[in-house]
Chains A and B, each alone.
Chain A
């Protein structure tokens, strides 16, 4: 601790990791403590140590000694616990693990459990007003309070217990203070003053109260025992605490004594990854076993091993051995072997594809040596960070892989990484709006059209986004609501499970983190991916990729039909890509990608890899896309300001596109080692100020000068990489993705019906909604067969020329209900709707969706009449009476065609029976509006067109000006629309709220890419349809 003279330390403090309770960030709490010259500060969140790493780092930055602790529930009463040392921290982890294992929503420990766990190195403060001791005293039972204190001493040890006194100016506070002090005198147990801090300053109180309302599901007008009565639970100064405890000065002094006792309890920077063991190792070390596997794999991958391969592999193995991470590679290899042995599709992604070792181990499918990829982008001695290998698995089988990992390493040594669901603008508005008593109509109004921005970005969004002008939140009366939302930006609201991240430890995980069960029943640690490295844990990312599931689904079908092989290059597949017909192709289907493909005219995998990297914020904002395309098409020659740049940039025609190129440039021009260069790249990507960047630039130029590069040239080269380093894409990652992208393009080109069926079965995924996939299947000549109670299967199914909609597309129809329908149908076909209702257990809501989705059209084509009849049929279900279908009166017509289409769309997310724009085509023609096909295939320069709006979005631009992109879909395809700022400001209100738009604009053509720049935008209303 530093030499400050503060006479008090806060030992009971809550951060936002006490979910919906702590109202100030850890940063704010520590800064306040530093302002108050406090030498130490404790963090004691409810059943959580999630803030420990962040707190420890920030506290040390401010010269404050961090004390780690937690507040637990002991048979429903609170108890404050502090870690005195490493054993204490580990004891806290075990206590919390035990408490959370019982009930993760309402964790609790019993006295018996506490005794069994025998915590060591823990200092127990008797707790706040909700503690067992205080409750006993408030119930005028001092004897019980004394017994409790005695029990605590038995469990935690003599000298490990302090009586916690809090003066928060609540009723009976004075009595309680006197009684607690007297208890201390009776038992000889020292007293400590605390303030049960929940926020840094009094001004934060309203947020604390609102969070209490959210937590207790009340509004501010409701009375609830957990609502705070006043704003006194803030990080008070020593002077203020001295005023509150002027009769008990020793309680203040003892806080310093406790703080002195609590030493560092969580050691960061350990190495906890387990030592790998496997029967095949036969006594070899991990490094030797890995080496043997690598050479074995190299022979398989390369055939003969030349000097390039040999040198590269030896270099990588040297780095791996020096960093002592051979065990990590073997662990991943072992997992991939499991997947391989069980027919589970996998694909490595990310910077691991820079590694030839990873390629030889079959962790990735990218030949990094062949592509000249830099290993140092993935791992280097200079960076000295732990490796991070991400593997995508077939989504439907990813959990089998995770289960294998749990079984292999044991439940105490394996866990999933947690993730925190944090407050953004919309979630904060919903929660706080409700807490402030807004009714549901008002809530809908204030949250309508709010984009996905941080909670503290709301004021700026309201000010700058034209679609929010006139928004209810602009009204003065909502200003406090907006301010409250801003106050909780980024606050964790609850803990969830990271989608793919897992940790494996060589020592029990409770040494560094409590474990708790997730909703899925897997064990999760209390730390997210940001803090794992500090804890000494290495993360494996075992991810689910639905694209792989779709690919696997198709491959299985094709294998049954005799198998297939992906040919590369395949001219017809490249031709399809170059026409921009890429809806459904992994990574290449977005409007920007479709446009790029039309201009780029890809001929090889190199072009696809570049495509994946080009459509990213960096190259777009850095204006690299157009130069790249021009040079690729031979319209302008690539230029290199220095000859050393040519071998690095020739594959991208002189344009800096990949992070690996940044590393190579820094190496070749400025003489950095590859590891130093990658570190430089990472520093540049996170620079905080222009001064910092200038300093990096000077270093670059100095080193370049040492290599004989003149200053001007070095400055220009530095400028190439300066703005780019933060946004560049990893080439290895692009290559890994391109491999999968090409495979999906090949399947789409040669087996479209099967592939689209597989995509529909893996929803939600991809860029486009299911209806767009159906449209494009139809455009490829595939007949979409509607949902049919007699013919549909659980999943969408396809043969070469048709695709049948499956029951999985029906909204609200559960899997158990699908199984029930199919099993019942197997016994005998459904002869009537009544028969269906009587023999199955499908719910009313699901039945409605089936009706509106057209499942019963073959039995009763009038969906409106059938819908009315459902209630009667369901009512008589139990009687098992197969009722006569109700007589349909002649006046009960079916839904008009447009309404029928819309209802089917809502029930299934798609329509098998055509496109909504068909209903508008006649009237559109009369007004001179053209279809998407007419625009694509014609030579029109100015058009009016209309369609269903797909994914309007507003990406960041280099100029900072607003550009909105959207796609209009009609029955003949897609047309991409660009909306510049002036039009956007005029039409913002309808852009993001109207499902159908009519647009006038000018046509742009570039190669096979066609788009329309909007000048006028109107909502297209149902009255303009022909029905």
Chain B
């Protein structure tokens, strides 16, 4: 089961990689399963997007990072 969250979250990083994030409570990033970058719809000036799929305490989360605003969004969680 997956749940679309799509909410801005605080994320602590180390060497640009997420080490913890705050969603309902502070959650550690145990591992980064996947990471990729998307240019987005550049013709509509959509910002670049970095996707991190991270495991935190047994649950898979998908975090989105927007380098132009340094903003983090919790996009989805996978139960």
Q: In the bound complex, do residue B39 and residue A205 qualify as a contact, i.e. CB atoms below 8 Å apart?
A: yes
Q: Decide yes or no whether A173 CB sits under 8 A from chain B.
A: yes
Q: Decide yes or no whether A171 CB sits under 8 A from chain B.
A: yes
Q: Decide yes or no whether A174 CB sits under 8 A from chain B.
A: yes
Q: In the bound complex, do residue A172 and residue B35 qualify as a contact, i.e. CB atoms below 8 Å apart?
A: no
| Segment among B3-11, B40-48, B69-77 that sits at the interface with chain A | B40-48
Question: Which of A172, A205, A229 touches B34 (beta carbons < 8 Å)?
Answer: A172
Quick one: CB contact mask for A202-238 with B, threshold 8 Å, 1 for yes? 0001100100000000001100000011111000000
Question: Which of B35, B41, B42, B43 touches A169 (beta carbons < 8 Å)?
Answer: B35
Question: Which of B32, B34, B36, B41 touches A230 (beta carbons < 8 Å)?
Answer: B36
Q: Decide yes or no whether A436 CB sits under 8 A from chain B.
A: yes
Quick one: CB contact mask for A155-179 with B, threshold 8 Å, 1 for yes? 0000000000000011111110000
A170 to B35 Cα, complex, angstroms:
7
A172 to B34 Cα, complex, angstroms:
6
Q: In the bound complex, do residue B43 and residue A170 qualify as a contact, i.e. CB atoms below 8 Å apart?
A: no
Question: Which of A173, A209, A232 touches B42 (beta carbons < 8 Å)?
Answer: A209
Q: Decide yes or no whether B37 CB sits under 8 A from chain A.
A: yes
List residues of chain A with CB within 8 A of the CB of B79. none
List residues of chain B with CB within 8 A of the CB of A229. 36-39
Question: In the complex, how many angstroms separate the beta carbon of A30 from the nearest chain B beta carbon?
Answer: 25
A231 to B51 Cα, complex, angstroms:
14
Q: How many residues in A have their beta carbons less than 8 Å from beta carbons of B?
A: 19
A172 to B32 Cα, complex, angstroms:
12
Q: In the bound complex, do residue A171 and residue B42 qualify as a contact, i.e. CB atoms below 8 Å apart?
A: no
List residues of chain A with CB within 8 A of the CB of B42. 205-206, 209
A920 to B38 Cα, complex, angstroms:
63
Q: In the bound complex, do residue A232 and residue B35 qualify as a contact, i.e. CB atoms below 8 Å apart?
A: no
Best-buried of B35, B37, B41, B51 by chain A (most CB within 10 Å): B37
Q: In the bound complex, do residue B41 and residue A171 qualify as a contact, i.e. CB atoms below 8 Å apart?
A: no
Q: Closest A-chain residue to B51, C-beta based?
A: A171
Q: In the bound complex, do residue B39 and residue A228 qualify as a contact, i.e. CB atoms below 8 Å apart?
A: yes
List residues of chain A with CB within 8 A of the CB of B32. 174
Question: Which of B36, B43, B50 touches A173 (beta carbons < 8 Å)?
Answer: B36
Q: Closest A-chain residue to B33, C-beta based?
A: A174
Question: In the complex, how many angstroms separate the beta carbon of B19 from the nearest chain A beta carbon?
Answer: 17
Q: In the bound complex, do residue A220 and residue B36 qualify as a contact, i.e. CB atoms below 8 Å apart?
A: no
Question: In the complex, how many angstroms separate the beta carbon of A694 from the nearest chain B beta carbon?
Answer: 48
A172 to B39 Cα, complex, angstroms:
17
Question: Which of A221, A228, A230, A436 touches B48 (beta carbons < 8 Å)?
Answer: A230
A244 to B43 Cα, complex, angstroms:
27
List residues of chain A with CB within 8 A of the CB of B43. 206, 220, 436, 480
Beta-carbon contacts under 8 Å, A140-191 to B: 169-175
A205 to B36 Cα, complex, angstroms:
17
A205 to B50 Cα, complex, angstroms:
17
Q: In the bound complex, do residue B38 and residue A230 qualify as a contact, i.e. CB atoms below 8 Å apart?
A: yes
List residues of chain B with CB within 8 A of the CB of A480. 43
List residues of chain A with CB within 8 A of the CB of B34. 171-172, 174-175
Q: Closest B-chain residue to A171, C-beta based?
A: B36
A229 to B38 Cα, complex, angstroms:
5
Q: In the bound complex, do residue A170 and residue B36 qualify as a contact, i.e. CB atoms below 8 Å apart?
A: yes
List residues of chain B with CB within 8 A of the CB of A173. 35-36
Q: In the bound complex, do residue A169 and residue B39 qualify as a contact, i.e. CB atoms below 8 Å apart?
A: no
Best-buried of B35, B36, B41, B50 by chain A (most CB within 10 Å): B36
List residues of chain B with CB within 8 A of the CB of A170. 36
Given A206-B43, A220-B43, A436-B43, A230-B35 contact (CB < 8 Å): no
Question: In the complex, how many angstroms separate the beta carbon of A202 from the nearest chain B beta carbon?
Answer: 9
Q: Closest B-chain residue to A436, C-beta based?
A: B43
Question: Which of A169, A174, A175, A221 touches B37 (beta carbons < 8 Å)?
Answer: A169
A206 to B38 Cα, complex, angstroms:
13
List residues of chain A with CB within 8 A of the CB of B50. 169
List residues of chain B with CB within 8 A of the CB of A220. 41, 43
Question: In the complex, how many angstroms separate the beta carbon of A472 from the nearest chain B beta carbon?
Answer: 18
List residues of chain B with CB within 8 A of the CB of A228. 39
A175 to B51 Cα, complex, angstroms:
15
Q: In the bound complex, do residue A232 and residue B41 qualify as a contact, i.e. CB atoms below 8 Å apart?
A: no
Q: Closest B-chain residue to A232, C-beta based?
A: B37
List residues of chain A with CB within 8 A of the CB of B36. 169-171, 173, 229-230
A220 to B40 Cα, complex, angstroms:
11
A209 to B39 Cα, complex, angstroms:
10
Quick one: CB contact mask for B2-27 with A, threshold 8 Å, 1 for yes? 00000000000000000000000000
A675 to B48 Cα, complex, angstroms:
61
Q: Closest B-chain residue to A481, C-beta based?
A: B43
A206 to B32 Cα, complex, angstroms:
29
A232 to B39 Cα, complex, angstroms:
9
A228 to B39 Cα, complex, angstroms:
9
A173 to B32 Cα, complex, angstroms:
12
A221 to B40 Cα, complex, angstroms:
11
List residues of chain B with CB within 8 A of the CB of A436. 43
Question: In the complex, how many angstroms separate the beta carbon of A219 from the nearest chain B beta carbon?
Answer: 10
Question: In the complex, how many angstroms separate the beta carbon of A549 from the nearest chain B beta carbon?
Answer: 50
A230 to B39 Cα, complex, angstroms:
4
Question: In the complex, how many angstroms separate the beta carbon of A230 from the nearest chain B beta carbon?
Answer: 4
A228 to B36 Cα, complex, angstroms:
12
Question: Which of A174, A206, A209, A221 touches B35 (beta carbons < 8 Å)?
Answer: A174
A205 to B38 Cα, complex, angstroms:
12
A169-B36, A170-B36, A173-B35 given; name 19 further pairs at CB < 8 Å: A169-B50, A171-B34, A171-B36, A171-B51, A172-B34, A173-B36, A174-B34, A174-B35, A205-B39, A209-B39, A220-B41, A220-B43, A228-B39, A229-B37, A229-B39, A230-B37, A230-B38, A230-B48, A232-B37
Report B's interface with A, CB cutoff 8 A.
Answer: 32, 34-39, 41-43, 48, 50-51
Q: Can you sample 12 A-B contacts with CB below 8 Å?
A: A169-B37, A169-B50, A170-B36, A173-B35, A173-B36, A205-B39, A206-B42, A221-B41, A228-B39, A229-B39, A230-B39, A231-B48
Q: Which 4 A-B pairs have the closest CB atoms?
A: A169-B37, A230-B37, A230-B39, A171-B36
